[in-house]
Structure 1
């Protein structure tokens, strides 16, 4: 009985979240049907989208015999509505470790500790020597559910590793896609950027699969990412489910505890 109850709890609390598995497309060449690669005689740029909230990875390879520079502060993701997300921000992250020990002096314990760490601040301008590359992973560029989705485009298709599982699938063209963005990069052959090179590549959402099944081996392609949300109904069910879980756990605990021994039987 306990095992069935635990299974019920998992289903009750886990069915509140919905996922959208989103595929990105572009006119940029895809040599391996996963990452996108754009190149000319000067540079080769690889774009990868995979994971939670569309983390964009950009790799810039210098094909020249002289150094190349990338100004990340003057590079951005430009959304379809005209807003932008800079690929560089003026923030620092600290990685630290605390080491120490305890020394006893009679009945007194003396504690000592020292914090050592490294401050990391990503460079605004990347220097790329000839025949080398720099790879950066900026902030996630999308975290919201795409809605509403056109019901006339919905299809039920198999999904994931589970036999018989189906999800709602939507396919889009560049003309009717619900989400577009561009990756705008500023490069130069000198650190003064007086001869800047601009590379501006468009991307769009070409497919969305919506389901309550969480990610497992679904993200097989580097051009697919996912977002999730908890619905209002899910919040209510989650609250009720939490109460049910607590109450059920108390009940099971009480039911499995041994009761008081029976009164002794007196023979006459």
Structure 2
């Protein structure tokens, strides 16, 4: 009886929960959506961002457009989250159990593997000429959930956005890091859309893919429209509780005619 009661309560809890995805669209003044990509270019570098992940990830491709190697200086490169700056060179090295980035990088019919010479193990990263390099080890780690409203879409300005973040990358054309150049990119959440899993798939595709200029959070809440099922389940649980109590009540009692 106790096992049956525990199983019924577990089924009740699972049936009452539902997952909602809070998808945050990201805008930038420097980085622009181009052909379903999130791209910046100057005369030296092309940067292709893919921020899609639970909590967001500063994930990007770098392409050296020049005929010379470019040296990325991590000691003068940093990420900013809501006004808090983190130098990339201060990030701890990955452990054996560290998060492994699972995004499959495909860009312009190229397969690009995550680059291992990053800030976590090097002060400088060399970007070879005319080659794409994937940088993927900088989680934004910011959960933005709009759970205190019934609205499914909420918009923000740059000033009242719940998350403003960005990065600066410093690079030069020699290993002594003289005559440095910088590129600075800033982002902010301009919209949060609350979606069920089916709606998420229809608008953004599979969860592992998403959109490059968006990130998401997951909220679990009581499923709407389940009140009848909850009531019936509650009655069943009450019945089992009563039966269990009656069983103990008559333990040790013998009836005679």
Deviation at residue 144 of structure 1 after TM alignment:
2.7
Contact in 2 for aligned 1:145/1:229 (Cα 8 Å):
no
What TM-score comes out, normalization by structure 2 length?
0.62
Contact in 2 for aligned 1:21/1:209 (Cα 8 Å):
yes
Q: Which residue of 1 aligns with 2:85?
A: 84
| Bigger CA radius of gyration | 1
Q: Which residue of 1 aligns with 2:33?
A: 30
Q: Which residue of 1 aligns with 2:189?
A: 205
Q: Which residue of 2 aligns with 1:10?
A: 14
Q: Which residue of 2 aligns with 1:131?
A: 130
1-structure distance, mates of 2:92, 2:13: 44
Contact in 2 for aligned 1:145/1:228 (Cα 8 Å):
no
Which runs of no fewer than 5 residues in structure 2 stay unpaired?
Answer: 1-7, 98-117, 205-209, 224-229, 241-257
Matches within 5 A, 1:22-61: 22-27=24-29, 28-33=31-36, 35-61=37-63
Q: How many residues align?
A: 198
Deviation at residue 31 of structure 1 after TM alignment:
1.3
Q: Quickly say closer, same or farther: Cα 1:136–1:191, change in 2 above 3 A.
A: same
Contact in 2 for aligned 1:45/1:60 (Cα 8 Å):
yes
Matches within 5 A, 1:85-124: 85-88=86-89, 89-94=91-96, 122-124=121-123
Q: Quickly say closer, same or farther: Cα 1:74–1:212, change in 2 above 3 A.
A: same
Which runs of no fewer than 5 residues in structure 1 stay unpaired?
Answer: 96-119, 156-167, 235-240, 252-268
1:226 to 2:230 alignment: no
Higher strand share: 1
| 2:172 alignment partner, one of 182, 188, 197 | 188
3-state SS of 1:93 partner:
coil
Q: Which residue of 1 aligns with 2:162?
A: 178
1-structure distance, mates of 2:56, 2:71: 26
Q: Quickly say closer, same or farther: Cα 1:9–1:91, change in 2 above 3 A.
A: same
